[in-house]
Chains A and B, each alone.
Chain A
Amino acid sequence: MSMDTRRRPIVALTLLGALTTLSACATSNAPVTSAPKAGKATEVAVATTATTTYPSTYTAPASAPTLIRGVTVLTGTGERLDGTDVLLRDGKIAAIGRNLELPAGGKVVDGQGKWVTPGLIDVHSHLGVYASPGVDAHSDGNEATAPSTPQVWAEHSIWPQDPGFEAALEGGITTLHVLPGSANLFGGRSVTVKNVPSVTYQGMKFPEAPHGLKMACGENPKRVYGNRRVLPSTRMGNVAGWRAQWIEAQEYMREQKNYETRRASGEKNPLLRPPKRDLRLETLSAVLRGEINVQHHCYRADEMAIVLDMAKEFGYKVTAFHHATEAYKISNLLAENNVCAAVWADWWGFKMESYDAIPENMVLVDAAPGGCAIVHSDSSEGIQRLNQEAAKGIAYARRMGREIAPEHAIKWVTANAAKALSIQDRTGSIEAGKMADVVVWNGNPFSVYAQAQLVFVDGVVRFDRTSRSGIPHSDFLLGQPAAQGVLQ
């Protein structure tokens, strides 16, 4: 069947947003909002965060130490180390260097001719929320019943049995950020997960990673709601829609502060109660406090500039623009604002706002002083080969006279992505003490012929191409006659 009516509309609706570094507060010590104080805890307003509610239950199983010997390492910090050993121990990268000693009980991986990179990170995925097979019942990514739904959480839609997860793992993806779609101005909270098999999403949830807030510019919200004669039907309606919500969030924060002040002053008024919890405004106020990253789907340069002004108006930070097909037109502006652009390699022309997309986008964003380029997928196919998507950038850079080394390009799919998810202190690079999220490739990962041989998540082999039992499969394909011969 042709994909005419199916696939692209989903993509179009799900085109999401952007990343950047948010404030450093968003990392490991982040997300507790007004912590309960001594006394009448039950009456204190406590906002829900990524870590305090629906908490991660993921813990890495024990693993034997692994010594990868004599391998070419792209560290993710801009370095290339040839003929190097990498030691993984207790779920962490223990050491990088020459002639490292194999700990007792450890395993050796012969790195001859192989390359090692940090586990790849996709900052823009809808795995689990638009799961395969793409039946109506799996349309869980857009709460397209109102233009602003910051109260919904993508993690509550994730179907962990989506076969797309294991396909992404085979492509070296160890961490991904799952977002709501882009039908809405505020689409809801996005979540970072580790790419490990689990019956529950909590078992995948990246511990102590902040939420994101998915926002969307441009055509999608105004088309979805304009067709229903509801604001927004225009781009100016989009902006007015966002601003009205931020104003409500500011008011909510004032009410909370007022309550805290009165309570702290010892007021004994029996009518003194914390403001009623509001899931919508909890999310928005957490953004204004810098506890949630803003991942903003936005294509056009002029709209991104408007969003940056709006962020100034309300005192928050845009972490990243996603898709950002015109980021190259404002690469200096983005860099000066410390905003990353998460882009495709070569998608263009599927809607008017992507008409000016060019394959040099990532390269030009990267070339600006301080620029932060990320290659993302937004696709269950693209996430399987983010390395190839980045390789296209290398090729187009060369055509315009810029040589980009593999040790630099790898940052587009590892360290820069980690930064935009505020997990760069734990993963996204090969450095001692970081999570042992590591891929062993059978060659230069920027080759179309390269394949991930081994994928480690926290030191545990989660994918092993050389072993039948090393290739995971979701429940969905078990016992399917048509899939016999696909499962190994």
Chain B
Amino acid sequence: MITSKIGRVILRTAALLAATTAISAYAGNASLLIRNATVHTVTAGASGPLKNTDLLVQDGRIAAIGQNLAAPAGVRIVEANGKAVTPGTFGGLTRVGLEEIGLESTTGDHSHRLGQMRPEFDVTMAFNPESMSLPIHRSNGITFTVLTPGSVSGGSMVAGLGAPVSLDGSLPGSQRAMFIDVGGDANDLSGGSRAVQFMLLRQAVVEARAPNLVMVHDERLLTPSGRQVLLDYLKGAGPFVFDVDRAIDIRRTLQFIKEEKIRGVIRGGAEAWRVAGELAAANVPVILDPLDNLPNSFDALGATLTNAARLRAAGVTVAFSMRSPEVHDAGKVRQAAGNAVSHGMSFTDGLAAITRIPAEIFGVADRFGSIAVGRPADVVMWSGDPLEVSSLPELVLTNGQLESLDSRHSALRDRYHERLKQGQAR
């Protein structure tokens, strides 16, 4: 709308190049003044939204936040009429750009089936920034997600490396996270017992910490590069994200985190509320699915809709993702946050759980998740309450660029809406 089409293509191309080289390229060029908005900055310690507030974006960056801001010459003005403006939202831990169609294996690159522990498996090398899912999720106000490798049959309980990615198709930097699967679902990948999982993890750690340890090659779990990568993460290169649900397994995972002095994150965490005090004391965040309330497995008998509220009440850092990493589920994270709020979480915490908190967990809080002067503009203006299912974005800025709300979905919609108007949808 603002940017010319040609300009957008050029910018998009630049973004793609950035993605292919996995380097952050800042291509923002949007300039606009959003007037009279309700701005949820979601910065740490912010005390509620700023009402009747203007937001000035210049050359893709947030230039000013305040009241009655003057519009620089040539800057487009958007009248918000009190509508909510938030940071772009988090799509959760997903396979966006790693999987086009769930059941078609040739379109899926999210998990390896090498049959051995390969912590060096970096799923970002498979990311496709031209997946049709990116524009769809952007049009729903999602501006970042975390590419997530999976532990699948034939693979390993150590799934490998994932990374935060901007939904303009660029990787914001070199941040990665190591994904590990713990619990009954991983029994098939760990010799039939969750006890083996901790045994293997400790063995891998020993190999990584003592790469020169004399071992017969065949006894090693890890390749040389796997040992190096795991060592880097043991030394703090990025967080370890443990997919674990049962309370006692979370407790054992916390023990592992403590012993190895690593930065740990709990994902899933269906029973996390039952060990909330320990999670808070260990300062370990939980990325959970607020809709996860059924005893779907014997690891999750304590699942409840009040998980998020109870964890927050105990002082645990909470972010949201859908349990399923499938591409199409990313759009439900915002709805899930609304449900967490209706089950006892504060609105402020619910919004933070899909903006600032995940950005902090994955080391990209300078780019995503809050609105502050000097940052690349990554913001959404909503038609209503940002956590309402009946609200949709009216304006989306990603990485300093104004995004079209068009997508393959809207193209199909428009084609068949037209046919319907003519009575020819047949």
Please report A residues at the B interface, Cβ cutoff 8 Å: 1-8, 12, 132-135, 163-164, 167, 219, 328-333, 336, 346-352, 355-356, 358-360, 364, 367-369, 380-381, 384-385, 388, 391-392, 394-396, 398-400, 446-451, 476-477, 480, 482-486
A352 near B389 with CB under 8 A, answer no
**B341 interfacial contact with A, CB 8 Å:** yes
Q: Which residues of A contact B327 (CB under 8 A)?
A: 349
Report the nearest B residue to A1, measured CB to CB.
B185
B111 interface residue per 8 A CB criterion: yes
Contact B388–A133 (Cβ < 8 Å): no
B168 close to A (CB within 8 Å): no
How many Å lie between the Cα of A6 and that of B295 in the bound state? Answer: 14
Contact indicator A351/B102 (Cβ below 8 Å): yes
Distance in angstroms between the alpha carbons of A19 and B413 in the assembled complex: 23
Main secondary structure of the interface of B (DSSP, over half): loop
User: Residue of B at shortest CB range from A447?
Assistant: B388
Contact B392 A2, beta carbon cutoff 8 Å: no
Size of the chain B interface, CB-CB below 8 angstroms: 72
Residues 351-385 of B at the A interface (beta carbon under 8 Å): 383
Question: Could you write out 13 A-B pairs with CB less than 8 Å apart?
Answer: A1-B186, A2-B150, A12-B102, A132-B295, A133-B301, A331-B420, A333-B425, A352-B103, A381-B294, A395-B390, A396-B392, A400-B413, A449-B341
Query: B246 contacts the other chain (Cβ, under 8 Å)?
Result: yes
Interface centre among A6, A133, A381, A485 (most CB of B within 10 A): A381
A330 & B417 in contact (Cβ 8 Å cutoff): no
B426's contact among A12, A330, A346, A384, by CB below 8 Å, is which? A330
Q: Contacts of A359 on B, CB cut-off 8 Å?
A: 409
Taking CB as reference atom, which chain A residue is nearest B159? Answer: A2
A contact residues around B300 at 8 Å (CB):
133
Give the residues in chain A near B255, CB-CB below 8 Å.
none
Residue on B nearest A345 in the bound complex, by CB: B389
Per the bound structure, the CA–CA distance linking A349 and B330 in Å amounts to 12
User: Is B342 a contact of A3 with CB atoms below 8 Å?
Assistant: no
Please tell me if the beta carbons of A399 and B328 are within 8 angstroms of each other in the complex: no
A331: nearest residue on chain B (CB-CB)?
B425
* Contact of A446 with B417 at beta-carbon distance under 8 Å, contacts A5-B152, A349-B328 already known: no
A133 contact from B243, B297, B383, B412, Cβ within 8 A: B297
Closest Cβ–Cβ distance, residue B19 to chain A (whole Å): 20
Taking the closest CB of chain B, its distance from the CB of A235, in whole angstroms, is: 15
Contacts of A447 in B (CB 8 A): 388-390
* Assembled-state Cα–Cα distance A356/B407 (Å): 12
A356 contact set on B, CB distance < 8 A: 412
Flag if A1 contacts B243 (CB, 8 Å). Answer: yes
Q: Residues of B contacting A484 with CB < 8 Å? A: 302
B183 on the A face (CB < 8 A): yes
Contact of A482 among B150, B243, B274, B426 (CB under 8 A): B274
Inside 8 A of B268's CB, which chain A residues have their CB? 1
Question: Which residues of A lie under 8 Å from residue B420 when comparing CB positions?
Answer: 328, 331-332, 364, 367-368
Q: A5-B152, A333-B426 are in contact. Are A134 and B328 (CB under 8 A)?
A: no
Kindly list the 9 A-B residue pairs having the minimum CB-CB distance in the complex, ordered from nearest.
A1-B185, A448-B338, A350-B102, A482-B301, A333-B426, A351-B103, A482-B302, A4-B150, A331-B425
**Contacting pair B413 A485 (CB below 8 A):** no
Q: Determine if B294 and A132 form an interchain contact, defined as CB atoms under 8 angstroms apart.
A: yes
